[in-house]
């Protein structure tokens, strides 16, 4: 079939996401439905551990400054884009209360994507472009296989590497430098 005769694909809609099986995660990026499997145990451990490190000090102000909403897998509706970062954080001065509906229309100040083989390309390319365009200031990219944390800082609509960490480092990383994070807690410990 020639390019002229090819049928034009219709833009994805939220109904396409709602029609997915429970165990699939759907996002709409540039009118395309992107379907991902549920995360692997390595992915889930790294993400859950980081939420645990940040939630007390920044959500609740326990042994930290508070002033943030730190949420696991929030659904972002940024015009036609529907994105689900692994973790996102909003400064309460920008978003004093959580929305009543099940999604967010205010872009976060910070977010974290935990990379997996099935999502890394989209997380590092298409999603980063959208996040920069919507004014997200910080993105952390965790790779639980390589045991690394890459910190990106937005400069205009581009990203600059603000730090690379890994292994068993203990770090203070912007915008959460008020606490020390033990990266070894994000990775699976090998059993002897």
Tokens 């002897």 found at: 192
pLDDT of amino acid 38: 87
Cα torsion at 156, 157, 162, 165 (round to 10°)? 170
Give pTM, 2 decimals: 0.92
Q: Is the pLDDT of residue 95 over 70?
A: yes
Overall CATH class of domain 39-186: alpha beta
Please count the other Cβ atoms lying within 10 Å of the Cβ belonging to residue 169. Answer: 14
Q: How far apart are CA 108 and CA 95, in angstroms?
A: 9
Task: Give the model's confidence band at 1: pLDDT under 50 very low, under 70 low, under 90 confident, else very high.
Answer: very low
What pLDDT does 15 receive?
96
Domain boundaries, the chain: 39-186
- Render pLDDT for 4-49 as a digit per residue (tens, 0 to 9): 545 678 999 999 999 999 889 999 999 999 999 888 899 999 999 9
Residue 107's pLDDT is: 98
């Amino acid at each position: 079939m020639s390019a002229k005769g090819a049928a034009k694909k219709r833009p994805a809609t939220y109904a396409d996401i709602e029609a997915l099986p429970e165990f699939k995660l759907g996002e709409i990026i540039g009118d395309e439905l992107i379907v991902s499997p549920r995360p692997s145990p390595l992915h889930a451990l790294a993400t859950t551990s980081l939420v645990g490190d940040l939630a007390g000090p920044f959500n609740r102000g326990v042994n930290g400054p508070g002033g943030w909403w730190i949420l696991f897998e929030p659904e972002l509706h940024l015009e036609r884009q529907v994105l689900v970062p692994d973790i996102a954080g909003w400064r309460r001065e920008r978003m004093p209360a959580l929305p009543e509906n099940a999604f967010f229309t205010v872009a976060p100040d910070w977010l974290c994507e935990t990379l997996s083989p099935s999502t890394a390309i989209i997380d590092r390319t298409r999603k980063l472009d959208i996040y920069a365009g919507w004014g997200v200031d910080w993105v952390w990219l965790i790779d639980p296989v390589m045991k690394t944390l890459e910190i990106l800082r937005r400069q205009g609509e581009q990203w600059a590497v603000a730090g690379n960490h890994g292994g068993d480092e203990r770090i203070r990383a912007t915008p959460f430098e008020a606490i020390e994070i033990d990266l070894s807690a994000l990775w699976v410990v090998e059993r002897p």
